Amino acid sequence: MNAKFIDEVRKLGGLSDEDQKLLADMRPAMERQAPAIVAAFYDNLQQNERAYEILNAEPGRVDRLKGHLTHWLYSLVEGNYGDDYFDKRYRIGHRHVEVGLEPRYVIAAMMWCRIKASELMSAEYADDPDAAHRMAALSKAMDLDLNIMLQSYDDKRVEQFLEVTGFSKVLFENMLSGGG
């Protein structure tokens, strides 16, 4: 299921093998830019009341998250889409459900991150004829990640609903598809 999911989303979204190759040599540039992207990402989030509340619900959480986001940015440019890739993104989605974060915050944060990362990474490729292609590849990779995270949100929330109501999964899926 994981490989099929990634394959399907990559084909539909146009995240090609060529994109994958371009991403794979962007790691040194990402290492240089990640500290600025990460710092700006959390500064921006802290401006939002709900995000601030969640981020500061535990001491040391923001520092821990800075580490998580840095590794996520690195893995984004690895261009390696095995099972591990899917599983990690899927877990990120679950973790956000666990901390009570509504999906719209993740979507908005990704929107913000895409622009910030593109702005800072573009400077690294000022003289590179592939610069625009690289930024598009990065953006597509973020969309792939967002897609996996949202799938996991959806699955986790259905799981919670079934637990609370005692509904069977088959019955629930039949109801959704209008089968009664």
Positions touching ligand HEM (CB under 6 A) are: 45, 51, 54-55, 58, 61, 64-65, 68-69, 72, 91-92, 95-96, 99, 101, 105-106, 109-110, 113
C-beta closer to ligand HEM: residue 51 or 120: 51
Q: What gap in Å lies between CA 36 and CA 154, rounded to an integer?
A: 32
C-beta closer to ligand HEM: residue 58 or 173: 58
CB of 99 to ligand HEM, least distance (A): 4
Determine whether 14 is exposed, middle or buried from the number of CB atoms within 10 Å of its CB (0-12, 13-18, 19+): exposed
CB of 29 to ligand HEM, least distance (A): 19
Q: What gap in Å lies between CA 180 and CA 175, rounded to an integer?
A: 5
C-beta closer to ligand HEM: residue 78 or 130: 78
Inter-helix orientation angle 83-98/131-165, to 10°: 60
Q: What gap in Å lies between CA 105 and CA 45, rounded to an integer?
A: 9
CB of 92 to ligand HEM, least distance (A): 5
C-beta closer to ligand HEM: residue 113 or 137: 113
**Inter-residue contact 23 to 141 (CB < 8 Å):** yes
CB of 46 to ligand HEM, least distance (A): 9
Q: What gap in Å lies between CA 61 and CA 83, rounded to an integer?
A: 28
